[in-house]
Structure 1
Amino acid sequence: MFGNPLSSKQKNELKRLGQCCIINPRRPNIALCDTDKVSFIPMPAVSEDGYLVDMADEEYGKVKKGFTYFENNDVLFAKITPCMENGKGAIAYGLTNGIGVGSTEFHVLRPINGISSPYWLLTLTRMPIFRERAAKNMSGTGGQKRVSASYLNHFMVGLPAIEEQRRFEAIYRQADKSKFGDFKSQFIEMFGTVENNTHNFPIMTIGEFANCFAGATPSTSHPEYWENGRIRWMSSGEVHKGHVEDTDSRITELGYKSASTRMVPIHSIVIAIAGQGKTRGTVAITEVDLCTNQSLCAIVPDERVNYSYLYHNLQGRYLELRGLSGDVNGRGGLNLKIIQKIPVILPPIEKQQQFASIAQQADKSKSVIQKALVYLNDIQSDELRKIA
């Protein structure tokens, strides 16, 4: 669609990225009181697949200094390793009072009206070859390497016509609608929240309607616990699959009996209770029977709770879940007692099932659109690598 944006031989005019967007725009004078709310977006709130996982409201006076400032439709680009290499970046949208503040490890790319679209900027900066080249030009040492604003400013890129960018934006927006970010607002409209229970639905803790248990890992020093295994065994890193239809590892019956892991039935929820990066607090649905390691907690709801409803409820509370075990930005861990005490609003099962049906249809739509976007990105990346 865009051709080869990084090639010197192409149909689009070559421009410095700094001519296509405003990089790290200055904060304007803001007519906000210190008690007014703005959106706060730390690094864990930005996913590695190009979306905001969650954001919280903070009083402007508490965050107006010491953080990065941005507005709706700005593109966030993680500049520090390994977040940059892992693809962290997103379009800021739905910000409270139109204003967001967040990690100082973000570069902000602001589209220029009539020249660039946030969706083109996000797609460009998420391309593997763009990230690979940026990684080669990082400065600093060890885990503190960063991509400089100067590098982004002087990066040469083929700028598509704004009409072409807008056509792509229409496709991207359709894919965006199928992400859970829109589900979250629909979820709140349908059911309210624990803090704002506008429909007066019952509120129960997870421990009151579900069986919760953690898994375990058979000893890796015993090959007979793993070789030719037939029992699916899930590690915490696989929680990012969202819907777990298979696992990367399997264990034998002997390995299963040697450890304290337990079978998790199909259509249960698993939540990462430990892990680096954005893993802790992430949830997934089991689409097959499996067992897990000790860094995952299984939540097996009873007949009063629809598993898909519970999954989306917890998925939309990502930062809240991370905060239960300490600082959302740091290391920490959840545990069974914490999870069992998490309150959940429980509408009638019929309403839960109604929402689950909406979510299922959106997942189908999302799958089709995202496959098309992945195909487009793969074609572009393959072309770029040929000339890199």
Structure 2
Amino acid sequence: MIDKMKVRLGDVLELNPKESIVKNTIARKISMTDLKPFTRDIPTFSYEKYSGGAKFRNNDILLARITPCLENGKTALVNILDKDEVAFGSTEYFVLRAKKGLIDPYYLYYLSISQDFRNVVIKSMTGTSGRQRAQKDAILEYKLDLPNIQEQQSIAKQLRALDDKIRLNKQINDNLAA
């Protein structure tokens, strides 16, 4: 039996955690176009002068908050940065950071692409058509039965293996095409 606890997501993650990059510093940028729908890994990025936008580190989850990117599954787990590197991207990201020891970052990623979670966040969208944005309270107030950290890691490990295999198969296909 899995030991679960009913929690508010806001109790186990930081939403848009504070990070800093000095203005005009050349930094890694992950734009919305760099994210592929329902794809964990980020395939491309650029280096640009920082002038604003969401800031994040490895193991943070980037979740599009604007229509139609959210509906199209633009969500990724940041895993391409150097140690202690802070990168930046679109102002239209929610940055989700797992609180250490409470929720596994990969478990949080897989939760963030689940249909139930996505439906709640999509239903929270407000604004004029074509420019609607999800509301942060939909994320913070989302309730779930959260397994203990060891069970989260076990579940995430199995899902990671599938994503790792997808990445490897894509690399093989890209090499064959070249």
- Interval containing the TM-score (normalised by the shorter chain): 0.7 to 0.9
Matches for 1:181-220 after TM superposition, within 5 Å: none
Correspondence 1:42 to 2:31: yes
Query: Out of 32, 40, 58, which is 1:72 matched to?
Result: 58
1:361 alignment partner in structure 2: none
Measured at CA, do residues 105 and 133 of structure 1 come closer, stay the same or move farther in structure 2, by a change above 3 Å? same
Q: Provide the TM-score with structure 1 as the length reference.
A: 0.41
Query: Out of 131, 142, 151, which is 1:164 matched to?
Result: 151
2:88 alignment partner in structure 1: 101
Aligned-pair distance for 1:143? 1.0
Aligned-pair distance for 1:169? 2.3
Paired with 1:182 and 1:23, the residues of 2 have a C-alpha distance of 33
Aligned-pair distance for 1:83? 1.3
Correspondence 1:26 to 2:18: yes
Aligned-pair distance for 1:110? 0.3
Paired with 2:33 and 2:24, the residues of 1 have a C-alpha distance of 27
- Larger Rg over CA atoms: 1
Paired with 2:170 and 2:39, the residues of 1 have a C-alpha distance of 17
Partner-residue secondary structure (3-state), 1:26: coil
Measured at CA, do residues 55 and 96 of structure 1 come closer, stay the same or move farther in structure 2, by a change above 3 Å? farther
1:192 alignment partner in structure 2: none
1:17 alignment partner in structure 2: 9
- 2:42 touches 2:78 (CA, 8 Å); kept in 1? no
Equivalent residue letter for 1:74: D
Aligned-pair distance for 1:74? 0.3
Correspondence 1:309 to 2:165: no
Equivalent residue letter for 2:41: L
Correspondence 1:56 to 2:48: no
1:120 alignment partner in structure 2: 107
Partner-residue secondary structure (3-state), 1:144: coil
Equivalent residue letter for 1:142: S
Question: Any stretches of 5+ residues in structure 2 without a counterpart?
Answer: none
Measured against aligned partners, the alpha-carbon deviations of 1:60-107 in whole angstroms (never above 9, x if no partner) come to xx12x3211000000111111111112210100121453221111110
Paired with 2:39 and 2:167, the residues of 1 have a C-alpha distance of 13
Equivalent residue letter for 2:112: T
Question: Any stretches of 5+ residues in structure 1 without a counterpart?
Answer: 3-10, 188-284, 286-307, 314-388
Bigger fraction of residues in helix? 1
Measured at CA, do residues 33 and 88 of structure 1 come closer, stay the same or move farther in structure 2, by a change above 3 Å? closer
Query: Aligned pair count?
Result: 177
- 1:39 touches 1:57 (CA, 8 Å); kept in 2? yes
Partner-residue secondary structure (3-state), 1:55: coil
By relative contact order (CA 8 Å, sep 6+), the higher-ranking structure is 2
Paired with 2:101 and 2:169, the residues of 1 have a C-alpha distance of 27
Partner-residue secondary structure (3-state), 2:36: coil
Measured against aligned partners, the alpha-carbon deviations of 1:317-359 in whole angstroms (never above 9, x if no partner) come to xxxxxxxxxxxxxxxxxxxxxxxxxxxxxxxxxxxxxxxxxxx
- 2:57 touches 2:81 (CA, 8 Å); kept in 1? yes
Aligned-pair distance for 1:56? 2.4
1:376 alignment partner in structure 2: none
- 1:79 touches 1:105 (CA, 8 Å); kept in 2? yes
Aligned-pair distance for 1:32? 10
Aligned-pair distance for 1:180? 3.1
Question: What value does the CA root-mean-square deviation take over the aligned residues?
Answer: 2.8
Equivalent residue letter for 1:40: K
Aligned-pair distance for 1:310? 5.1
Equivalent residue letter for 1:85: E
Aligned-pair distance for 1:114? 0.6
Equivalent residue letter for 1:170: K
Paired with 1:26 and 1:177, the residues of 2 have a C-alpha distance of 30
Partner-residue secondary structure (3-state), 1:40: strand
Q: Provide the TM-score with structure 2 as the length reference.
A: 0.85
Paired with 2:23 and 2:103, the residues of 1 have a C-alpha distance of 29
